[in-house]
Structure 1
Amino acid sequence: MSPHLLASVRAAALAGEVPPEAPRAVIGASWARALGHGVDPDVGRHAKLLAAEEIEHRRRGSALGEVMPVLAEGLVSVADAAWHIMVVSDAEGRLLWRDGAPAVRRSADRLGFAEGASWSEEAVGTNAIGTALVTRRPLQVHSAEHFVRTHHGWTCAAAPLHDPRDGRLLGVVDVSGPASTVHPATLSLVSAVARVAEGELRSRHWAAVERLRSLAVPLLAGIGGQALVVDRNGWTAAAAGVAPAERVALPASAAAGPAWLPALGTCVLEPLPGGWLIRLGAGDRAPEATRVVVDVSGRAGWSVTVSGPAGGWSHQLSPRHAELLFVLAVHREGRSAAELAGDLFGDPSRTVTVRAEMSRLRRTLAGVLAHRPYRFAEEVEVELVRPRRALDLLPHSVAPAVLARRIPES
Structure 2
Amino acid sequence: MDTSERVRAQHREAHLGGRTKGVPPARADVVASWRRVSAAGVDPAGRPQVAPLDATEVQRRRTRDGLNLIADRLTPHLQSVVDSGHLVVITDATGHVLWRSGRPGVRGLADDLGFVVGSVWTEGNVGTNAIGTALVLGEPVQIQGSEHFVETHARWGCSAAPLRDPWTEQVVGVVDISGPRTAMHPSLLATASMAARLASMELLERHRRALEDLRAGTGHLLARVSGPAAVVDRTGHVAATSGLLTQRQICLPDGLQPGVVHLHGIGDVTVEPLPGGWLLRGPTESPLGTRAVLDLDGEPHIQVVAESGPWTRRLTPRHAELLLAIIGAGDGGLGAAALADEVFADPARVVTVRAELSRLRRVLGGLLLTRPYRIAPTVSVEVRLPATGAALLPGASAPVVVRARARLP
- The TM-score with structure 1 as length reference comes to 0.66
Residue 57 (1) aligns with residue 57 (2) = no
Asked if 2 retains the 8 angstrom alpha-carbon contact of 1:228 and 1:244, the reply is: no
Residue 210 (1) aligns with residue 212 (2) = yes
Residue 182 (1) aligns with residue 184 (2) = yes
Distance in 1 of aligned mates of 2:157 and 2:201: 27
Residue 240 (1) aligns with residue 242 (2) = yes
Instruction: Work out which of the residue numbers 64, 67, 70 in structure 1 matches 2:70.
Output: 67
Can you list the C-alpha shifts for 1:204-260, whole angstroms capped at 9, x where unaligned? 111111121123332212211011100111100111122422112112222222222
Residue 128 (1) aligns with residue 130 (2) = yes
Distance in 2 of aligned mates of 1:62 and 1:196: 15
Instruction: Work out which of the residue numbers 9, 20, 30 in structure 1 matches 2:23.
Output: 20
Instruction: Work out which of the residue numbers 39, 43, 48 in structure 1 matches 2:46.
Output: 43
Instruction: Work out which of the residue numbers 30, 35, 39 in structure 2 matches 1:32.
Output: 35
Asked if 1 retains the 8 angstrom alpha-carbon contact of 2:114 and 2:121, the reply is: no
User: Which aligned pairs between 1:11-410 and structure 2 lie closer than 5 A?
Assistant: 11-18=13-20, 20-81=23-84, 83-101=85-103, 106-282=108-284
Asked if 1 retains the 8 angstrom alpha-carbon contact of 2:92 and 2:98, the reply is: yes
Indicate how the Cα distance of structure 1 residues 161 and 271 shifts in structure 2: closer, same or farther if over 3 A, else same. Answer: same
Asked if 1 retains the 8 angstrom alpha-carbon contact of 2:142 and 2:159, the reply is: yes
Shift of 1:21: 2.4
Shift of 1:105: 7.5
Indicate how the Cα distance of structure 1 residues 280 and 31 shifts in structure 2: closer, same or farther if over 3 A, else same. Answer: same
Distance in 2 of aligned mates of 1:178 and 1:199: 30
Asked if 2 retains the 8 angstrom alpha-carbon contact of 1:76 and 1:85, the reply is: no
Where 2:23 maps in the other structure, the secondary structure is coil
Distance in 1 of aligned mates of 2:56 and 2:206: 28
Shift of 1:283: 10
Indicate how the Cα distance of structure 1 residues 258 and 283 shifts in structure 2: closer, same or farther if over 3 A, else same. Answer: closer
- The TM-score with structure 2 as length reference comes to 0.66
Shift of 1:169: 1.4
Shift of 1:29: 1.2
**Amino acid in the other structure paired with 1:56:** Q
Q: Which residue of 2 aligns with 1:376?
A: none
Asked if 2 retains the 8 angstrom alpha-carbon contact of 1:158 and 1:187, the reply is: yes
**Amino acid in the other structure paired with 1:80:** D
Can you list the C-alpha shifts for 1:12-52, whole angstroms capped at 9, x where unaligned? 11111026321111111111111111111112533111111
Indicate how the Cα distance of structure 1 residues 26 and 113 shifts in structure 2: closer, same or farther if over 3 A, else same. Answer: same
**Amino acid in the other structure paired with 1:227:** A
Distance in 1 of aligned mates of 2:8 and 2:173: 28
**Amino acid in the other structure paired with 1:57:** R
Indicate how the Cα distance of structure 1 residues 28 and 271 shifts in structure 2: closer, same or farther if over 3 A, else same. Answer: same
Two-structure CA RMSD over aligned residues (Å): 1.9
Q: How many residues align?
A: 283
Asked if 1 retains the 8 angstrom alpha-carbon contact of 2:86 and 2:105, the reply is: no
Asked if 1 retains the 8 angstrom alpha-carbon contact of 2:230 and 2:245, the reply is: no
The worse-fitting range, judged by mean Cα deviation, of 63-72 and 105-114 is: 105-114
Distance in 2 of aligned mates of 1:12 and 1:36: 17
Distance in 1 of aligned mates of 2:108 and 2:55: 18
Distance in 2 of aligned mates of 1:146 and 1:274: 43
Shift of 1:104: 5.7
**Amino acid in the other structure paired with 1:136:** G
Asked if 2 retains the 8 angstrom alpha-carbon contact of 1:85 and 1:177, the reply is: yes
Indicate how the Cα distance of structure 1 residues 37 and 11 shifts in structure 2: closer, same or farther if over 3 A, else same. Answer: same
Can you list the C-alpha shifts for 1:269-317, whole angstroms capped at 9, x where unaligned? 1111211111121599xxxxxxxxxxxxxxxxxxxxxxxxxxxxxxxxx
Shift of 1:103: 5.6
Distance in 1 of aligned mates of 2:186 and 2:105: 22
| Runs of 5+ consecutive residues of structure 1 not aligned to the other structure | 285-410
Asked if 2 retains the 8 angstrom alpha-carbon contact of 1:230 and 1:276, the reply is: yes
Indicate how the Cα distance of structure 1 residues 54 and 203 shifts in structure 2: closer, same or farther if over 3 A, else same. Answer: same
Distance in 2 of aligned mates of 1:243 and 1:93: 38
Distance in 1 of aligned mates of 2:221 and 2:4: 65
Where 2:166 maps in the other structure, the secondary structure is coil
Q: Which residue of 1 aligns with 2:349?
A: none
Can you list the C-alpha shifts for 1:167-197, whole angstroms capped at 9, x where unaligned? 1110111000111111120001110110111
Can you list the C-alpha shifts for 1:77-103, whole angstroms capped at 9, x where unaligned? 32321x111001111111111001376
Indicate how the Cα distance of structure 1 residues 156 and 20 shifts in structure 2: closer, same or farther if over 3 A, else same. Answer: same
Where 2:124 maps in the other structure, the secondary structure is helix
Distance in 2 of aligned mates of 1:44 and 1:120: 14
Shift of 1:158: 0.2
Distance in 2 of aligned mates of 1:181 and 1:111: 16
